Amino acid sequence: MPSQQQYALTTPSSRVNSRQQSSQSLPEMPNAVFQDYTKRSLEFLKIQFREMNAKIDDLLDSRPKPCPCEENEQKFLLPLDSFDAIEHLENSMNDQQSRQQMILLLLRIGGINFQKTVYAIMEKLFSYEIGTKFTWTGKSSKGIEKAKFSDLKNIYAAISGAVLGNKDLAGDEKTTVKVQYQVTEWLRHCQQNLKSQV
């Protein structure tokens, strides 16, 4: 039969005393050490936070950005079908930003070869009807006075920029002389193309 001394070892007060003795036996962390530990933990959290923010920024940057080209197309009201509209566009592109917006818009058109690229751009910019009013030099082959397309320096600069900046076209094809020639040819065929639309 257990003695009273053995029972005393399992009383609640003895268990409390045992825990107190156990806690007292743990070494206390010096205040300076605790502060250093806390400081290092905060620095680690700051680093983790910065890395997480950087990853979020990367994800946001990698999202497809809305192309301003559609807005530009509405802004420029293409194709142009009057002298007033052409003059307005030419004057508006004195501004470098507007000229760059036009180049970006025309770059999207593309084409399977050099000629078709220039023709597609011209058809985007001008109606056939207004095209019949222009020649490159301002005179037709019959000596009839027409509007001089080469005077539209800003518009032509945008056309050239879009064609020469097209990476799908062969490098040896992309010259300003060839752009001018294809623009001249497009204007020359406007009357015929206009009739075929009827």
For 59-96, the pLDDT digits (tens) are 666 654 445 555 566 677 899 999 999 999 999 999 88
User: Does 164 lie in the same domain as 125?
Assistant: yes
Amino acid at site 187: L
CATH at 193: 1.10.10
- Structural domain ending residue among the three candidates 28, 46, 62: 62
Distance in angstroms between the alpha carbons of the first and the last residue of the chain:
122
Which token pair is 129? 């009807």
pTM: 0.63
- Structural domain ending residue among the three candidates 25, 40, 62: 62
pLDDT digits (tens, 9 = 90+) for 139-159: 988 878 999 999 999 999 999
User: Does 150 lie in the same domain as 103?
Assistant: yes
Q: How many residues does the chain have?
A: 198
- Of 124, 141, 139, 122, nearest to 187 by C-alpha is 122
User: Does 119 lie in the same domain as 166?
Assistant: yes
Parent domain of 10? 4-62
Q: How many domains does the chain have?
A: 2
Residue 179, exposed/middle/buried by CB under 10 A (0-12, 13-18, 19+)?
Answer: buried
State the Cα angle at 120 between 116 and 124, rounded to 5°: 170
Residue 149 β-bridge partners = none
User: Does 54 lie in the same domain as 132?
Assistant: no
